[in-house]
Each structure stands twice: as structure tokens, then as C-alpha cells.
Structure 1
């Protein structure tokens, strides 16, 4: 299986790098500056699961040619349109696209660009960033990638991908219920992003306030109701896990969206919180906390853009 990874950043670079390290046929589609750095120093990973540094194959937009069996797409939601344009030449009749973006709103544009049959379901759990010299820094023990056919079950192409990931130094979940898993991640992520951005504080700080836990639980229930209406009510174990993260006293956890906001950059607010609110409204569900969180993020974007 020939695999093309868009970018070599903190997420795509990590999972693509673990695949390449394990012997898979992986090529990274990167900008010229990143290609030069990778040629000079290789792809470098610092991780509790093992540090690594090794040469990798790269292409740029100018040198991209031919079709790949699998295209791994990892980008911020606000870069999705440009990312679709970047990978389009690599997607042929037999290609598959595996997005590991947050949320669910990206499936519409991807289906429109490539057809639903070419887009499989995917998500990941990892806390990583790029270091000062372009190295990938993995900051905790979680490094899971999950994928499967959106229609349910498995297929030859997802089996082949699972085989490629088999020896890699990351946790792989080949799921026959990928959309259930995607919704369960989404109902954790949306209140985490909404609340930590709204309060400009970590989970632990929010829990230390008088009503923080109650408000966090209320926002979670708004999101869980949306998932239930879509036919993907969180399973008991997923509900317990999510609420455990969202209400953990002393936790330093924040959403990456809050870190983007505090850095003064664009956020995935419309893609995560906004999409959840639009789904709630379409279902006729009240979601006052999602409404408040999105208004806050929209006001931030208006101020940021001047």
C-alpha cells in the first residue's frame, strides 16, 4: 500500500512517521521549506513510546504526480479547502482518503470533492506539537489512530491499512463502528473546546469554581442530545470516560482551540462548536450553552480580523 501524508506536522507527521518507521511505503506532501529540513535532518519524533530520527520520502506540490492507494489528511479545519486542492492530484479512481480532523463537518466537503466512496472514517487521539527545530514532540502516552468504513464493517482497503499500521509504535483501532466512535469523540471535544475557550481556563480551574462542573455537564448533555438524535448516543463507557475528562479536578487539560485562541490565531470554532450548534438547531434541540460558546468564538474572530 502506497500512502501519501499531507504535511509532516505534529499529527500527520507523527502517525505517518510511525508508519514509515515500521517499513510502510510512505511519502509526505510538504512545502519546500519543510522538505529541505526533512532532507537535512530527517523526520524526528520525541515520544514516551520511543524517540526516532530517520530519512523520509517527500514531494512538493510541484513534484507531486501519480495516484496513491491511501491519502492521510491531517490539517486544521480552516485549511481544509486548500488541503483538498493539494491532495486532489494524488487521488485516483482506486484511492482512498483518510481524514483525521476533529469533528464531523469536514466529511461534506471531502465527499463533494472525491465522492463518498473514496472517503473513509478516521479520527485520532494524540497530544503533540512541533518543537523549535521542526521535531515532533509527543507529550503524553496517548497515540491512537482509529479508522473504518463509514457505512460500517471493514473492507479490503481498511484491512490493508490495519496491516500497515500493525508493527507501528502507535495504538491502532480498526473499527467496524467508526461513526459511533467519531460521535463519541465529538461529544467530548465540543464541550471541552467550548468551555475552556469560554472560560479561558483549564478543566481543573473551571472545576474549582462554584458552578463550573454543573455548567460543563450541561454543555456535555447538549452535545450528547445531538448525537442521540443522529442515532449515535454515547455508549455508557464513552459517556463515563468523557465526563471523567471534562470534570477532573486539578486537570491542566485545555482544548487546542483555546491554545490557538490565546496565541491570537484562527480557531476551529465554526467547525467544532458551530457545527454542533447547527445540528442541534436542525434537530429542534435547545442548546443555550453551545450558543453562548459560539457567540464568544465569533466575537473573538471579529476582533482578531480587525
Structure 2
């Protein structure tokens, strides 16, 4: 007698931008049941041109399922949340009607600050922790372009348990081309470590308006970079999540490469005159540093620099 097969997970992806479009698209390409919740304009382009991925791991033009907010029903087992932090409140309102009674939310936002409002709305047992390591953006013609070989997603239960739903979702991602997936039991530690990396990179690239290599090639750029990395790690340690030695060695190497073209999405947002996630990333780290009485002069300068940029943007005084 054969055992009954479990039904496929129904997955809803909020948006079809760099992260959601790439990982959701790769899932759809592999045959998973994926639907994209998008605005009418994006839906029209997806229907007409398909979801287009330009990637070192293979280009793709995919016919995908889409819907808009007015069509949402509570039938989705998994909702992938990939919005910008400044859109979080609206995003929560958009996905709440879509989550099935036993469904859960997996956010791939930068930082950690989003976890509290998600837990308040859905309950911590219905929210996984997650990180995404990828450099991708939506081009002017609507395609999703992946810049390098970063393609890793990591997720797990906030409780630290390894559950069936985590394993099932990881198995689906494992079938997808151009995706590396890790299901873990220490996701809070992983999220803090990513925040250390991201806060360091955003602090330096936004303050200097340059990529890693351009900063490192200056007389003192590498030293300032590594000092900021150590400061970010000290803040994480004060909050119970000291980064591992292997993590620190890896990012010390990355932030020492004179030929690196690595930049951050926050710098790209500034360069295009857009909104930033400064409060969610640098503002959060600054608050945690002050609570722990940790000196963070470079972080404070970068935060103030970006807040001044926002003032100029609000006054319509950008070049």
C-alpha cells in the first residue's frame, strides 16, 4: 500500500522585484505552485512579457501566475515577503488576507527590525526567520538582473526547531536552478550576522558613495572598513549574538579586496534618488549601540549623511 502524497505547498510571493522575482521565479521554473501578488502595472508587464531573469546560472522567460490585492484569498501555505522595509506596514496589510489558516510567512527583508511587527500581526509561530544573499535588481525594461554568483537563502523557525514545513520548503528550493538553500536551527544568529555584514557595508558604501574596491584602494579605506566591521560585531555581541570567528574572517577578507565591485542596495537607492532603508538598518544598529553604550562614530556619520540626503530629497534639491 502506497502512502498518500502530501499536496504541494501553495506559495505566494509579494512583488516580483530583485529578490522575490528571482527566487520566486526560480521556484516557478522548477514546477512549484507559485503566484505573484503584484500591482496592476507589474501584472500587465508580466502577462505581456513574462518574468524575465538574466543570470549567470541561466536566463529565463517564464509564464507565471499573478494576482492583485482585490483577488487575494486565504489559501496560501507560504507567503514570501520581499518588500523594502519602508513598505512593511502596507505589505503586511496586503498579505494578511492571503495566509491560509495553517499557513506561514517567510520574510526576506534586510535586518531584524521587521520581525517584531510580523510577530505581532501573525504570531511568532507563523513567522519564520530568513535571509537572502543575492545582488539583483529590476532593470528599466522590467527584467530581473543578477549581478554575481550570490544566490543563497537561509531560513528556519524562530524557536530553533527543525520542522516539517521548513524541510518541505527547503526541498522545493533545492530543486530550483540557481538557488542555494539552507534550512537551519539558528536563524536568529544568522540574521544578526547578516545585519553585521549589511550595516558595515551600507555604512561604508553610502558614506563614501563608492563600492568596496574603490574604498579599499584609498590610503585608509580598508582600516576604516574593518574598524566598522568590528564595531557592528560588538553591537551584535551586546545583543547576545556574537558573530563567529569564521564569519568575521570571511567578511574581513571581503572588505579588504581592492578589486571588489561589491556595493549595496542602499547606495543604489541613493544614486537613483530613491527612498532608503536607513532607519531599518543603520537606525536600528545605532539604537542598539546607544543602548549598550558602544561608541560608533562612523555609523553615526553614515546615518546622519543619509538622513541629510533624505532631507534634500524631500525638498526636491537632488541633482
TM-score interval for Structure 1 and Structure 2 normalised by the shorter chain? over 0.9
Deviation at 1:253, TM superposition (A): 1.7
CA distance in 1, matches of 2:279, 2:208: 18
Partner of 1:184: 193
CA distance in 2, matches of 1:227, 1:134: 37
Partner of 1:42: 50
Partner of 1:140: 148
Kindly indicate whether the alpha-carbon contact (under 8 Å) linking 1:121 and 1:147 is maintained by their aligned counterparts in 2. yes
Is 1:15 the counterpart of 2:23? The answer is yes
CA distance in 2, matches of 1:23, 1:54: 11
The structure 2 residue matched to 1:269, chosen from 264, 274, 278, is 278
CA distance in 1, matches of 2:125, 2:262: 36
Partner of 2:257: 248
Kindly indicate whether the alpha-carbon contact (under 8 Å) linking 1:188 and 1:246 is maintained by their aligned counterparts in 2. no
The structure 2 residue matched to 1:75, chosen from 52, 63, 83, is 83
Superposed, 1:15-34 pairs within 5 Å as 15-34=23-42
The structure 1 residue matched to 2:228, chosen from 208, 219, 222, is 219
So what's the TM-score if we normalise by structure 1? 0.97
Superposed, 1:65-214 pairs within 5 Å as 65-169=73-177, 170-214=179-223
Please state whether the residue corresponding to 1:69 is helix, strand or coil.
Answer: strand
CA distance in 2, matches of 1:198, 1:2: 42
Moved over 6 A (4+): none
Deviation at 1:269, TM superposition (A): 0.8
CA distance in 1, matches of 2:60, 2:114: 31
Partner of 1:232: 241
Change (3 A) 1:262 1:132: closer
CA distance in 2, matches of 1:245, 1:261: 23
CA distance in 2, matches of 1:36, 1:205: 40
Structure 1, unpaired ranges of 5+: none
Superposed, 1:49-64 pairs within 5 Å as 49-64=57-72
CA distance in 2, matches of 1:131, 1:125: 19
Deviation at 1:222, TM superposition (A): 1.1
Partner of 1:6: 14
Kindly indicate whether the alpha-carbon contact (under 8 Å) linking 1:29 and 1:61 is maintained by their aligned counterparts in 2. yes
Deviation at 1:121, TM superposition (A): 0.6
Q: Deviations over 1:132-177 (max 9, x none)?
A: 3212111211111111112213111111111211211111111111
Please state whether the residue corresponding to 1:196 is helix, strand or coil.
Answer: helix
Kindly indicate whether the alpha-carbon contact (under 8 Å) linking 2:35 and 2:65 is maintained by their aligned counterparts in 1. yes
Deviation at 1:91, TM superposition (A): 2.1
Please state whether the residue corresponding to 1:184 is helix, strand or coil.
Answer: helix
So what's the TM-score if we normalise by structure 2? 0.93
CA distance in 2, matches of 1:220, 1:133: 36
Q: Deviations over 1:86-125 (max 9, x none)?
A: 1111124311100001111111111122111111010101
CA distance in 2, matches of 1:64, 1:72: 14
